[in-house]
Amino acid sequence: MRRTLLKLTVLALAGLTARATPATEQSSLAFGVITTTTVAETQAAWEPFFESMRRSTGLDVRGIYHATYEAAVDALATDLVQLAWVSSKAALDCIDRANVEVFAQMVDSAGSLGYRALIVTRRDAGLASIEQLLDKPRTWRFAMGEPSSTSGAVMPSYALFVPRVLEPEAHFATLLRGTHAHNVEAVLSGKVHAATYNTEEMSRLRERAPRQAQQLAVLWESALIPKDPLLWRRDLPLSVRTRLAGYIFGVGKTLEEKRMLKRMFNLAGFQRSGNHQLKFMLDIEDFRQRSQVLLDSRLSDAQKTEQLADLGERYLRLSRALHAPADPALK
C-alpha cells in the first residue's frame, strides 16, 4: 500500500512539474497583429520582424494575424497570444478583461507619436463639406470602422456624432463597417459616398497608389491621436519580457532593420511606454459612452442612473490600472 501511494505521489509531482515548465520557460510565444489592410499584406510586412526577433532573442515568436479587433482582444484575454499590437480602444478593453499591460508605443518614420482620424470622399461624389454629410439624414452612404477602431469609430463618434445626437445606423442611407482598406475601396468604387480613414493609411496609399489617393478629398480631420500601443501579458516570465524588450527597443539601428520597420507600418521603431498612454482614450471613451446613455430617449431615468453608475465604476477601475507601477522589464 505504501509503495502504491509513493508511486502516485511521484506521478502527481511529475505531472505538476510538466505543467509548470511552459509557464516558466515560455518556449513558444504568439504575437497578435491587427489587420488594417488585408491579412496577406500585413503578414508579408510583419513576418521579417518576427524572424529577426527569433534570431535575436532565441525565443520562438510567431505572428498571429487578426481580421477583426474583437478577435485580437479575445486572443489576448484568453492567452491565445501573449503579445499584441492593437488600437488604443482595444487596449483599454484588453486591460479591463485580462492580465495585460502596455509596454511600448509605435514611433513612425517621421518621428511622430501621433496620427489623425479622417473622413474622406471621392472628389466627384457630390460632397463638399462635413456639414453636408451630417446635415442630411438618410441621404448618403457611409463606411466606418469596427467599434474598437480608434480612428475608424471612436474619434468620429466622440467629435462628430455624439455632439450632434447622431446615430450612424439611423442617419446614413447605408452604413458599412470594415477595415480601413475595405472602407476606402468602398469610397473609390462608389459603393459609399464617404468613409472614415486616417493619416497613416493615407500616407501609405499615396506611396502605393498615388492615382487613387488623388481621387480622394478630406472632409474632416481629428485632433492628434497617440500612436498605437504594444501589449504583453503580465504573467510572462520576467526573463522573457526582458529579452523581448531588449530586442523591441533596440531594433532599427541598421539600414536593413530600418527598411524592415518602414515596410511594417512606416515605423522607425518603438519607445518604452505604459498604461498611462491610454488616459487620452479612456477620457474620450468615457465621455462618448456617458453621452450616449444621457441622450438615449428609450431609457428611463432609473436605467440611465444604473448605466451611468456602471460606467463610473469602469472608469475608476481602468484609471487605477492606468496608474500601475512600471514593469521591471522596462527599467
pLDDT tens per residue across span 266-287: 899 999 999 999 999 999 999 9
Instruction: Find how far residue 142's CA is from the centre of its chain.
Output: 22
Supply φ then ψ for residue 14, to 5 degrees.
-65, -40
Q: Is 248 exposed, middle or buried (0-12, 13-18, 19+ CB in 10 A)?
A: buried
- Residue 27 has a pLDDT of 67
- The half-sphere exposure of 209 on its side-chain side, counting CA atoms within 13 A, is 11
Residue 27: left (phi > 0), alpha (psi -120 to 50), or beta? alpha
pLDDT tier for residue 22 given thresholds of 50, 70 and 90 = very low
* In contact, 152 and 183? CB cutoff 8 Å: yes
C-alpha torsion sign, points 296, 299, 302, 305: negative
Q: Angle 134-151-43 (CA atoms, 0-180°, nearest 5)?
A: 135
Residues 136-192 pLDDT 10s: 999 999 999 999 899 999 999 999 999 999 999 999 999 999 999 999 999 999 999
* C-alpha span between 4 and 110 (Å, rounded): 69
Q: How far does Cα 97 stand from its chain's mean position?
A: 15
Mean pLDDT (the chain, rounded): 90
- The pTM assigned to this predicted structure is 0.82
Label residues 283-294 b or e (16+ Cβ within 10 Å = b).
ebbbebbbbbbe
The neighbouring-strand residues paired with 214 are none
Domains in the chain: ranges and CATH: 28-113+227-275 (3.40.190.10), 119-225 (3.40.190.10)
Average pLDDT over residues 187-209: 96
Cell numbers that stand for 56 in this block: 535575436
| Contacts with 28 (C-beta within 8 Å, 6 or more apart), sequence order | 22, 60, 62
SS3 state of residue 141: strand
Residues 88-98, mean pLDDT to the nearest whole number: 94
